[in-house]
Amino acid sequence: MFYKIAKTLSVTASIIGIMMMAGACSVKSQELFYLYAALGITTLTTGAFALEYFRIREWQYRKRKIREAREHARREAA
């Protein structure tokens, strides 16, 4: 359950980052352009990193559950 919520939030952060970078193009002030671009890139990379992190954590969780099920079946058979 936690992984689904975290994945949703990381995708949302990636989308917000893209929107911030797109919003930087409509700003007339150069300082605001760089601020929006930097915030957009930071948010996008944070969202992408979090998405990959939670994908790996979910894979490890599934792998552990399969291993525990095999060990349990082996103990039951013995």
**Residue-number span of the structural domain to which 13 is assigned:** 2-77
CB atoms within 10 A of CB 10: 20
Report pLDDT for 60: 92
**pTM here?**
0.66
pLDDT per residue as tens digits for the range 1-24: 567 777 788 888 888 888 888 877
The total domain count for the chain is: 1
pLDDT tens-digit profile of 22-63? 877 777 788 888 888 888 888 888 888 888 888 898 899 999
> For residue 67, with 0-12 CB atoms within 10 Å meaning exposed, 13-18 middle and 19 or more buried, which class applies?
exposed
User: One-letter amino acid identity for 34?
Assistant: Y
